[in-house]
C-alpha cells in the first residue's frame, strides 16, 4: 500500500509516513506504566493523543507479562449514563467488543459479567476478581473520555478506580495495574459531585493520576525522521532535511497535525505539478502561506474558532496576548490559561503565555479581523494602483496612504479604541492589498513594550514593519535599535516604522531615519 502524510485521525505505519517517537513512547512505558501509574494523555485537537496510545499499545502487546485492554468512549450513548447499572453493563460491553478478536476467552468473561452488573459494587468486585485471577499486569486504556468527562456517573466510576488504586497500594485490593485516559481535557482537574445540586467540593476522582511530563509535540530531529520515512519510498526526491525541518518547526512549534499538514501540502500540492519534485526551503514558506490563507480551512481551525467565539473571556484573553502584546503569566490555576492550554492555543514560554505556533497566531488574526470587520468597526478601504511596483508592493506609499486614511477616519476616535484596535486597523488595511500574493506574519515580542513586529512577505520579498505606540523620545530611540537588530536577522538594510501617537498636539509626519547601516522609513499617525 502506498503511504501518505496523514492529516486525519490515527496515524498507522503501513498507511502513513510517521515521525520516530519511539524514545518518548519508551519513556512513558518505563517511567509510568511499568511503575503502575494512572495518568492522562491530553492535548489540543489533533495533537496526536490517539496515535500516542496506539503506539503505547504496540509496546505493551509485546510484553508477555502484560494484558492490555484498549477501548474508546466515543460510541457510548446517553442510555449508558442513566445510572450505575447501565454504565457498568455498558462499560463491560465495550470491553467485550474491544478484545473479542484478540482474546475470545477474556471477551466471554466480560460478556457474562455484563449481564450480572447491578451497581458499581458488582463492577468493583469483578475488577478485583479479574485482576487477581490473571497472572498478568492488566493495563486499561480509554480514548475519547471527553464524551463522558462532565457526566456524574462516569466521574463516580473514576472515583471507584481511584479508591481501588489506593487500596491496591496498601495491599488491600486488586485492580488494574495502570489506567490511561486520553482526551482534550485533563480529567484530573474535574471535581466529583454525588448529587446534581452539590457544589464541586470533593477531591477530583482522578487526583491520584501522575502528570505526563512528556512533550508530545515534534522536535526538529523528529521532523527529520518523518522526512526520512518519506524518503524511504521516494528516493528520487532530494530534500534538505535539517533546513526544512527547522523551518516547519518554526511555523508549527512541532504541533503534530500541522507538521504533517505542511508536509502534505508540499508533497501533494506545491510540487505535484512541478517538473522538479525536489523540496526547497521556499516550499515550506509557501506551505505556510497556503495553510494560513483565510479561505483554507480544516476541522482543527474550525474547532479553534468555535472555542474562541463561544467563550467571551477566552476570546478576550487570547486577544490581549496576540494583539495587545500583554504579558500573561502562565499559571494553569487561572481559568483562561488552563482553557487556552487545554485547547492547544498557548504554550508556556519561560513562565509567560505565548500563542502555541505562528500558524495559530496568523489564523487568530484573520478571525479577529473578520469579526471586527463584520461588526462595522473598520472603515472601508479603497484600492490604488500605486500600491504596487511591478511584482512588488510599494510599502512606503502604502504607509503614507494609511496615514491619510487614519487621519481622515480615526483621528477623532476614542483614544482607548485606537490603543486597543489601532494595530488591527492597519492589518485590516494591509490584508486586501497583499492577499493572494503575500501574507503578514507577526513576530513575537518577548518584553513588555507596546510594539508589534510584522514581517510582510510578498512574492518572496520580505518587508519588516514595527508598529509602536509612542511613549516618548527615550523609548523611540530604543525602538530604532530594536528594529535595526531585527532587520539583521533577515539580512535587510531597510525597515519601516508605524507609530501611533495619542498626544493631542501630535503631528502626522514622516521621517527617514539613518541608523548604523540601516534606513528606516517612519510614519506617525
Q: For the chain, give me the number of helices (H) and strands (E)? A: 17, 14
Ordered alpha helix ranges (H), 212-334: 220-231, 241-252, 256-265, 281-292, 299-309, 312-322
pLDDT at 297: 87
Alpha-carbon distance values, 461 to 109, 265, 437 (Å): 67, 21, 11
Q: How far apart are CA 51 and CA 348, in angstroms?
A: 24
- CA-CA-CA-CA torsion for 74, 42, 257, 321, nearest 10 degrees? 120
In the structure grid, which three cell numbers stand for residue 33, read together?
Answer: 506504566
Q: How far apart are CA 17 and CA 9, in angstroms?
A: 13
**Angle CA(350)–CA(355)–CA(357) in degrees, nearest 5?**
100
Q: Give Rg (Cα) of the chain.
A: 27
Q: pTM (2 decimals)?
A: 0.84
pLDDT at 418: 64
Share of the chain above pLDDT 90, in %: 55
Mean pLDDT of the chain: 87
- Binned at pLDDT 50, 70 and 90, residue 209 comes out as confident
pLDDT at 192: 43
Q: How far apart are CA 326 and CA 355, in angstroms?
A: 12
pLDDT tens, 221-255? 999 999 999 999 999 999 999 999 999 999 999 99
In the predicted model, is pLDDT for residue 72 greater than 90?
no
- Binned at pLDDT 50, 70 and 90, residue 194 comes out as very low
Q: How far apart are CA 263 and CA 197, in angstroms?
A: 50
198 CB-near residues (< 8 Å, 6+ apart): none
In the predicted model, is pLDDT for residue 287 greater than 70?
yes
- Cell 491619510 belongs to residue: 404
pLDDT at 413: 66
- Dihedral pair phi/psi, residue 226, rounded to 5°: -65, -45
Question: How many CB atoms lie under 10 A from the CB of residue 523?
Answer: 20
Strands 494-500 and 518-524, how do they pair? parallel
By residue count, the chain amounts to 525
Q: How far apart are CA 418 and CA 411, in angstroms?
A: 9
In the structure grid, which three cell numbers stand for residue 512, read together?
Answer: 527617514
- Binned at pLDDT 50, 70 and 90, residue 117 comes out as very high
- In the 8-state DSSP scheme, what is residue 14? T
Are 376 and 346 contacting, i.e. CB atoms less than 8 angstroms apart?
no
Strands 461-469 and 451-458, how do they pair? antiparallel
List beta partners, residue 468: 451, 499
Alpha-carbon distance values, 428 to 136, 365, 515 (Å): 62, 10, 30
pLDDT tens, 326-381? 889 999 888 899 899 989 999 999 999 999 999 999 899 888 888 877 776 666 66
In the predicted model, is pLDDT for residue 419 greater than 80?
no
List beta partners, residue 457: 439, 462
Q: How far apart are CA 355 and CA 333, in angstroms?
A: 18
- Cell 512533550 belongs to residue: 215
Q: Where is 85: in which H helix or E strand?
A: helix 84-99
Q: How far apart are CA 346 and CA 326, in angstroms?
A: 14
Q: How far apart are CA 360 and CA 462, in angstroms?
A: 21
Amino acid at each position: 500500500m502506498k503511504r501518505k502524510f496523514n492529516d486525519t485521525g490515527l496515524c498507522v505505519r503501513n498507511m502513513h509516513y510517521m515521525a520516530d517517537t519511539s524514545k518518548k513512547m519508551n519513556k512513558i512505558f518505563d517511567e509510568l506504566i511499568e511503575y503502575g501509574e494512572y495518568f492522562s494523555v491530553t492535548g489540543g485537537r489533533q495533537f496526536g493523543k490517539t496515535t500516542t496510545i496506539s503506539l503505547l499499545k504496540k509496546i505493551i502487546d509485546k510484553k508477555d507479562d502484560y494484558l492490555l485492554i484498549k477501548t474508546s468512549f466515543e460510541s457510548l450513548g446517553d442510555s449508558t449514563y442513566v445510572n450505575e447499572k447501565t454504565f457498568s453493563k455498558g462499560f463491560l460491553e465495550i470491553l467485550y467488543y474491544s478484545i473479542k478478536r484478540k482474546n475470545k476467552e477474556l471477551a466471554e468473561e466480560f460478556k457474562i459479567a455484563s449481564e450480572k452488573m447491578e451497581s458499581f459494587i458488582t463492577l468493583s468486585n469483578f475488577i478485583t476478581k479479574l485482576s487477581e485471577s490473571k497472572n498478568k499486569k492488566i493495563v486499561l486504556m480509554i480514548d475519547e473520555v471527553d464524551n463522558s468527562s462532565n457526566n456524574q456517573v462516569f466521574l463516580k466510576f473514576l472515583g471507584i478506580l481511584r479508591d481501588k488504586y489506593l487500596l491496591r497500594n496498601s495491599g488491600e485490593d486488586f485492580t488494574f495495574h495502570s489506567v490511561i485516559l486520553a482526551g482534550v481535557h485533563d480529567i484530573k482537574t474535574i471535581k466529583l459531585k454525588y448529587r446534581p445540586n452539590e457544589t464541586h467540593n470533593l477531591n477530583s476522582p482522578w487526583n491520584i493520576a501522575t502528570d505526563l511530563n512528556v512533550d508530545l509535540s515534534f522536535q526538529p530531529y523528529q521532523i527529520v525522521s518523518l522526512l526520512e520515512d518519506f524518503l524511504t519510498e521516494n528516493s528520487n526526491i532530494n530534500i534538505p532535511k535539517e533546513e526544512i525541518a527547522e523551518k516547519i518547526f518554526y511555523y508549527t512549534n512541532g504541533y503534530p497535525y500541522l507538521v504533517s499538514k505542511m508536509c502534505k501540502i508540499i508533497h501533494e500540492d506545491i510540487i505535484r505539478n512541478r517538473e522538479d519534485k525536489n523540496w526547497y526551503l521556499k516550499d515550506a514558506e509557501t506551505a505556510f502561506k497556503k495553510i494560513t490563507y483565510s479561505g483554507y480551512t480544516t476541522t482543527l481551525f474550525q474547532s479553534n474558532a468555535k472555542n474562541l467565539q463561544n467563550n467571551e473571556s477566552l476570546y478576550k484573553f487570547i486577544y490581549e496576548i496576540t494583539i495587545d502584546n500583554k504579558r500573561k503569566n502562565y499559571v494553569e490555576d487561572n481559568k483562561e490559561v488552563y482553557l487556552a492550554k487545554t485547547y492547544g492555543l498557548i504554550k508556556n514560554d519561560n513562565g509567560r503565555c505565548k500563542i502555541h505556533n505562528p500558524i495559530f497566531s496568523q489564523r487568530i488574526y484573520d478571525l479577529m479581523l473578520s469579526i471586527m470587520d463584520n461588526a462595522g468597526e473598520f472603515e472601508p478601504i479603497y484600492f490604488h494602483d500605486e500600491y504596487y511596483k511591478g511584482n512588488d508592493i510599494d510599502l512606503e506609499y502604502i504607509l503614507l496612504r494609511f496615514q491619510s486614511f487614519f487621519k481622515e477616519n480615526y483621528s477623532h476616535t476614542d483614544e482607548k479604541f485606537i490603543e486597543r484596535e489601532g494595530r488591527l486597523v492597519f492589518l485590516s488595511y494591509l490584508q486586501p492589498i497583499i492577499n493572494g500574493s503575500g501574507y503578514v506574519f507577526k513576530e513575537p515580542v518577548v518584553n513588555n513594550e507596546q510594539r508589534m513586529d510584522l514581517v510582510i512577505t510578498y512574492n518572496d520579498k520580505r518587508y519588516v514593519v514595527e508598529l509602536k505606540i509612542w511613549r516618548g523620545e527615550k523609548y523611540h530611540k530604543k525602538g530604532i535599535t530594536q528594529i535595526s537588530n531585527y532587520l539583521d536577522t533577515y539580512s535587510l538594510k531597510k525597515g519601516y516604522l508605524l507609530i501611533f501617537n495619542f498626544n493631542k498636539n501630535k503631528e502626522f509626519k514622516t521621517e527617514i531615519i539613518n541608523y548604523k547601516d540601516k534606513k528606516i522609513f517612519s510614519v506617525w499617525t
